[in-house]
Structure 1
Amino acid sequence: MDVARVKLILKNCDCVTIDVDSTICCDETVDELAKFWGKEDAIVPITTLAMEGHLDFRTALEKRMEVLDISSQKLKVFIAEKKIQYTPNVKKFIKFLQNRCIAVYLITGGFHETVDNIAIDLNIPLENVFANRIIFDETGRYLGVDETELTLKDNVKAEVIKGLKCRFNYKSVVHIGDGMNDAKVCPVADAFVGYGGVVIRQKVKELAGWFVTDFQQLIDEMMK
C-alpha cells in the first residue's frame, strides 16, 4: 500500500488503534522495570529480539519476567516513582482524534497495571485497553501472566482489530506502532503507520504503508 493511500484512509478512518511502549511512551515497560532493579543488561537484548521479529512475544515475555523476579510490592514502588514519558505530540494527536469522535484503542503487550494509568491520563476508557495482566499470590509473589488475556498471542493485534470491526462495525481502522507485531496487522487493519520517534526498526519501516517519527505529521495530514 502506498503512502498516499494510507494518508487517505487515515483522514477518513473512524477508529485508530495504537501501541504503547516506544509509541505512546518513550519507554519499553519491561526494560524500564529492569533498569529500575539493575537488570537492564539481561533484559534489553531479549526485548530487541522480540521487537525485530526474531523471538515470539510469549517466549520473550516469559524470559524477561523470569529475569526480573517481580513482586507486587516492587511493581507498586515502580508505578509510584516512575513518571510517564510521552512521545512528542502523541497526547495532542489523541486529543485531536477524540475531538473528531474517532475511537481510540490501546493494544499492547505491556501490563494493565501500568497501561491503565496511561489510558486514564489520556481520557481513554479502560474498556478500550487491551493488555496483559500479572498474577501474584497472596504474598505478592509473581505467579505468571493471565492466560485469558488475548495479548499473549503473537498475532494478537490483528485479532483484536478484527474483533473490534465485527463488534462496532468500524469502516476503517488504522493501526500505529513501532514493532513487528504491529507491522503484521494488515490486511485486518485497513492501514498501518509505522512509528520511529523512539527507535527505527528497519523491517517495520519497510513494511509500513507510511512511516513517521512525530505524531504532528499525522495531525498535519488529517487537517489538510
Structure 2
Amino acid sequence: MQVLFQRASAFRCGALAMSTSVGLRVAHAQTALRTAQAVCFDVDSTVVTSEGIDDLAAYLGCGDKVAALTAQAMGGSMPFHEALALRLSAMKPSQQQVTSMLAEEPLKLTDGVADLIAVLHSRGQHVYFVSGGFRQFIEPIAAQVNVAKTDIYANTLLFNADGSFKGHLDSEPTSRAGGKAKVVADLKAQRGYKTVVMIGDGATDMEARDIEGGADAFIGFGGIAVREKVKAGADWFVLSFQDMIDVLKNRGAMPSRASSASVLSFSGVLAAAFAPYAVLIVTVVAKQPELVILTIGAAFVWLCAILVIAII
C-alpha cells in the first residue's frame, strides 16, 4: 500500500507538470508553430544570451547607462527609436571598436536555439531574424544557424570614411516603433505566408502580433530575461527552446519524460492492484455465480479508491 501511495504521488506530480504551460492561447500558439510557413525570431536575449548593444556599451565603458535605456525600451516604457538614438549617442562606437568587440567577446547562442532552428528548417519552415539590434552583430550569428543574410531584418551602423561613428540607417523599419510588426506584415503580404509566428523576449516583439496582418501568434521567450508585460500578453510563454522542439517533434504539447514515466508507472500499479480481483471474479463465476455482483462491486470500489488517491 505504501508503494501505491508513492506511485499516486508521482502521478499527481506528473499531471501538474503537464498543466504548467503559460499563455493566453497556448494551444493556438502551438498549432501555429507547427503549421507556420515562416517563423520570425528576435535576436537579442532570444537567439543570443545578451543584448548586443549592451555588450558594446560595456566594452566601451558606458554599460550601466545604456543597459538602463535598453530595459526601458524592452519593457515598453520608452519608444524604441528614442531609446536607440539615446544609446548610440551615448556610445558613438567606431568601426574598429565594433570589430574588436566582436572578435574578443563574440555573442553566444542561447541553449537550444540552434536545435530549434534546425528542426524548423528540416520541416521546410522559413526562419527570419527580425531585430532592433545591428546587422554587424547579427550576421555572424545567423551564419552559425544557416539563416541567410537576406533573411535578416535589423538596423545598420554607419561609419565615416575614417571609421568614426556616423549614425545608423534610419530607413530600416526596425529602427522605429512598430518596425518589427511592419516587417512581419510585409513578409506575409509579399511572400504569401498564411501563418507566421513571432518569437521574442520584448514588448516590440509582441507588437508584431497585435496589428492587422501581423504575426498569427506570439511566443514569449523568458529563458534569458522574464519581462512581465510579455509574460502576461504572450499567446504562449516559455523558458526553454526545448518546449517548442517538443511540440514540433511530438505534434502536440507533450509532458516531460519524467511526467510520462510517472503516468506509465502509475498505470502499472493500477493494473497490479486490480489483477487479484480479476482472478477472484473468474473463480467466483466458476464456483459461486450468485456472488458475482458482490465481487464486481467490491472490485469497483477498490479501483475508485485508487483513482481518488491519484486525483486528490
Q: Structure 2 counterpart of 1:153, which letter? A: R
1:1-150 equivalence runs, <5 A: 1-150=24-173
Q: In the aligned structure 2, how far is the partner of 1:95 from the partner of 1:20? A: 16
Q: CA deviation at 1:199?
A: 0.5
Q: Structure 2 counterpart of 1:79, which letter? A: L
Q: Which has the higher helix share?
A: 2
Verify: 1:210 aligned to 2:236, yes or no.
yes
Q: CA deviation at 1:69?
A: 2.3
SS at match of 1:144: strand
2:182 corresponding residue in structure 1: 159
Q: In the aligned structure 2, how far is the partner of 1:2 from the partner of 1:72? A: 44
TM-score (norm 1): 0.97
Q: Which has the higher strand share?
A: 1
SS at match of 1:23: helix
Mapped contact 2:52–2:107 kept (Cα < 8 A): no
CA RMSD across the alignment: 1.0
1:194 corresponding residue in structure 2: 220
Q: In the aligned structure 1, how far is the partner of 2:152 from the partner of 2:121? A: 15
SS at match of 1:171: coil
Q: CA deviation at 1:126?
A: 0.7
SS at match of 2:132: strand
SS at match of 1:7: helix
Q: In the aligned structure 1, how far is the partner of 2:183 from the partner of 2:131? A: 11
Q: In the aligned structure 2, how far is the partner of 1:147 from the partner of 1:8? A: 36
Q: CA deviation at 1:168?
A: 1.3
Q: In the aligned structure 1, how far is the partner of 2:170 from the partner of 2:108? A: 29
- Give percent identity, aligned residues only: 36
SS at match of 1:54: coil
CA deviation map 1:101-150 (0-9, x unaligned)? 10000000111111111111111111100010111111111111112211
1:175 corresponding residue in structure 2: 198
Q: CA deviation at 1:84?
A: 2.6
- The structure with the largest alpha-carbon Rg is 2
- The runs of at least 4 aligned residues of structure 1 exceeding 6 Å deviation read none
Q: Structure 2 counterpart of 1:120, which letter? A: A
Aligned length: 224
Q: Structure 2 counterpart of 1:177, which letter? A: G
User: Which of 206, 220, 223 is 2:246 aligned to?
Assistant: 220
Q: CA deviation at 1:83?
A: 2.4
Q: In the aligned structure 2, how far is the partner of 1:160 from the partner of 1:41? A: 30
CA deviation map 1:22-59 (0-9, x unaligned)? 00000101110111122112111111011000111111
Q: In the aligned structure 2, how far is the partner of 1:168 from the partner of 1:194? A: 24
Q: CA deviation at 1:2?
A: 1.4
Q: In the aligned structure 2, how far is the partner of 1:69 from the partner of 1:6? A: 40
Mapped contact 2:199–2:219 kept (Cα < 8 A): yes
Q: Structure 2 counterpart of 1:216, which letter? A: Q
